């Protein structure tokens, strides 16, 4: 109903007391002021000013609009300032959903870089394993999802999402330091057919069973847990061995366990996912850039 330029001009006329005075304040010509006020009166459907001699007086509608004009202009100014802060990265909120080993490695480093250069950007961290974390992104519960996929498991990305590859994460076998195969730099999965195993999340477990089947055995899974520290504790106590991503080695806390790469190498793809339209949101794009920079230093880990 209202053109914000007309409201600004109307407020100037009311404050200055006349069209000519408002024209001087705004740097317009008086005819331009007159045209804008006529356009505003057509919008509201009633006169806003009446002349009494050489003076202008507000009509009842003018009085009502005058009471709102300053509030309207203040709100517009506040909105413009907020939009400017968002686009210039002085403020903003980004919700990131990530799986545990990414939350313990990639995320802290990326957020530290972000906080140093853009302290006004607030990042909220959620935790979730794929595919549930992907579904949360589609439902609008987060802005960026970090997830992983395995080469042997064929999965389709929802068409409204963009996948941004970050890194390849090499799989390792965690075993007690005294294990006979711990002396090797790399181990063959087939050589571990007789071991007891500790399996992880559903997607990792599915890939693990697939890889074991590829080399001809069905593993004896003694324990299943999504908690990486629990896996490490079980391995340290000699209760089994585990196939774990290389990112987990970054926060191993037990000195009684060690990790050995698989031969041939096995890897998972770690990617960021975002709604296509959200790539144009400055704060989201900035967080993605920081994640890419951090992941680039870990390629092949």
What is residue 301's predicted lDDT score, i.e. its pLDDT? 44
Flag whether pLDDT at 118 surpasses 50.
Answer: yes
pLDDT tens digits for 195-215?
999 999 889 999 999 999 999
CA dihedral for 238, 242, 246, 250, sign (positive or negative): negative
Q: How far apart are CA 210 and CA 150, in angstroms?
A: 10
What is residue 176's predicted lDDT score, i.e. its pLDDT? 95
pLDDT tens digits for 60-111?
888 889 888 888 877 777 666 666 555 555 667 899 999 999 999 999 999 9
Q: How far apart are CA 187 and CA 34, in angstroms?
A: 85
**Torsion angle, alpha carbons of 133, 136, 141, 142, to 10:** 40
Q: Decide which of 53 and 113 is more confident.
A: 113
Flag whether pLDDT at 190 surpasses 50.
Answer: yes
How many other CB atoms sit within 10 Å of the CB of residue 12?
A: 21
What is residue 177's predicted lDDT score, i.e. its pLDDT? 92
Q: How far apart are CA 180 and CA 162, in angstroms?
A: 45
What is residue 89's predicted lDDT score, i.e. its pLDDT? 55
Segment 31-40 mean pLDDT:
92
Flag whether pLDDT at 291 surpasses 50.
Answer: yes
What is residue 97's predicted lDDT score, i.e. its pLDDT? 97
Flag whether pLDDT at 166 surpasses 70.
Answer: yes
pLDDT tens digits for 122-163?
899 999 999 999 999 999 899 999 999 998 777 788 888 999
| DSSP per-residue codes, 273-285 | EEEGGGGGSHHHH
The alpha carbon of residue 17 and the mean position of all alpha carbons in its chain are separated, in whole angstroms, by: 51
The pTM of this model reads 0.70
Both tokens of residue 206? 């599915």
Q: pLDDT-derived band of residue 44, with 50, 70 and 90 as boundaries?
A: confident
Share above pLDDT 90 across residues of the chain, in percent, rounded to a whole number: 56
pLDDT tens digits for 261-276?
999 999 999 999 999 8
How many other CB atoms sit within 10 Å of the CB of residue 185?
A: 7
Mean pLDDT taken over the chain? 88
């Amino acid at each position: 109903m209202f053109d914000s330029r007309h409201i600004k001009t109307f407020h100037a006329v009311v404050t200055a007391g006349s069209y000519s005075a408002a024209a001087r304040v705004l740097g317009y010509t008086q005819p331009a002021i007159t045209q804008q006020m006529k356009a505003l009166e057509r919008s509201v459907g009633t006169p806003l000013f009446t002349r009494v001699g050489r003076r202008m007086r507000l009509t009842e509608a003018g009085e009502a609009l005058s009471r709102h004009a300053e509030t309207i202009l203040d709100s517009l100014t506040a909105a413009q300032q907020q939009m400017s802060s968002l686009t210039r990265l002085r403020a903003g909120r980004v919700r990131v959903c990530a799986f545990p080993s990414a939350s313990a490695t990639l995320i802290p480093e990326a957020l530290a870089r972000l906080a140093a250069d853009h302290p006004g950007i607030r990042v909220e961290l959620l935790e979730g394993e794929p595919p549930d974390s992907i579904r949360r992104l589609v439902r609008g519960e987060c802005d960026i999802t970090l997830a992983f996929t395995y080469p042997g498991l064929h999965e389709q990305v929802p068409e409204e999402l963009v996948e941004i590859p970050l890194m390849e994460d090499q799989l390792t076998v965690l075993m007690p330091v005294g294990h006979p195969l711990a002396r090797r730099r790399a181990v063959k999965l087939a050589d571990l057919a007789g071991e007891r195993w500790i399996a992880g999340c559903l997607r990792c477990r599915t890939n693990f069973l697939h890889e074991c089947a590829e080399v001809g055995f069905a593993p004896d899974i003694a324990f299943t847990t999504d908690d990486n520290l629990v896996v490490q504790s079980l391995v340290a106590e000699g209760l089994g061995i585990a196939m774990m991503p290389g990112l987990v080695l970054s926060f191993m806390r037990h000195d009684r366990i060690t990790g050995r790469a698989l031969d041939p190498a096995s890897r998972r793809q770690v990617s960021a996912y975002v709604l296509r339209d959200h790539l144009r949101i400055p704060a989201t794009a900035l967080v993605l850039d920081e994640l890419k920079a951090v992941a680039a230093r870990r390629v092949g880990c």
